[in-house]
Amino acid sequence: MTNKSEQEKPVTTNPQGMLKTALGDFSYIYPILAAQILDDYGIRNGKCLDIGAGPGLLGIEIARQSELKVTSLDISSEMGEIARGLARERGVQERVKILNADVHAIPLEDNYFDLIVSRGSFIFWSDKVQAFREIYRVLKPGGVAYVGGGDGKKWPREIKDILKKLKYSIKIPLRNKFSRRWQEFNFSFDYWEEVMREAGIEEYRLMNRHLWIEISKSK
Ligand X SMILES: C[S@@+](CC[C@H](N)C(=O)[O-])C[C@H]1O[C@@H](n2cnc3c(N)ncnc32)[C@H](O)[C@@H]1O
Stretch that binds ligand X, among 36-44, 74-82, 183-191, 201-209 (CB under 6 A): 74-82
* C-alpha span between 218 and 81 (Å, rounded): 35
Position with the least CB separation from ligand X: 54
Q: Which of 43, 62, 75, 92 binds ligand X (CB under 6 A)?
A: 75
Residue 10, H or E segment = strand 9-10
Q: Which is nearer to ligand X, 12 or 202 (CB)?
A: 12
Residue ranges in 45-64 that form contacts with ligand X under rule CB under 6 A: 52-55, 57-58
The nearest distance, CB 173 to ligand X, in angstroms, is 11
- Site for ligand X contains 41 (CB under 6 A): no
- Contacts of residue 91, Cβ cutoff 8 Å, sequence gap at least 6: 64
Number of residues that bind ligand X (CB under 6 A): 22
Q: Which of 125, 136, 185, 187 binds ligand X (CB under 6 A)?
A: 125
Q: Which of 2, 7, 12, 188 binds ligand X (CB under 6 A)?
A: 12
91 — alpha (psi -120 to 50), left (phi > 0) or beta?
Answer: left
- Site for ligand X contains 22 (CB under 6 A): yes
Spell out a b/e string for 131-160, using b for 16 or more CB atoms within 10 Å of the CB, else e.
bbbbbbbbbbeebbbbbbbbbbeebeeebe
Q: Which of 121, 129, 185, 212 binds ligand X (CB under 6 A)?
A: 121
The nearest distance, CB 218 to ligand X, in angstroms, is 26
* Short-list 213, 207, 121, 129, CA closest to 172: 121
The nearest distance, CB 38 to ligand X, in angstroms, is 16
CA 70, distance to chain mean position in Å, is: 13
Cα four-point dihedral sign 198, 201, 205, 209: negative
List residues binding ligand X (CB under 6 A).
12-13, 18, 22, 52-55, 57-58, 74-76, 79, 102-104, 119-121, 124-125
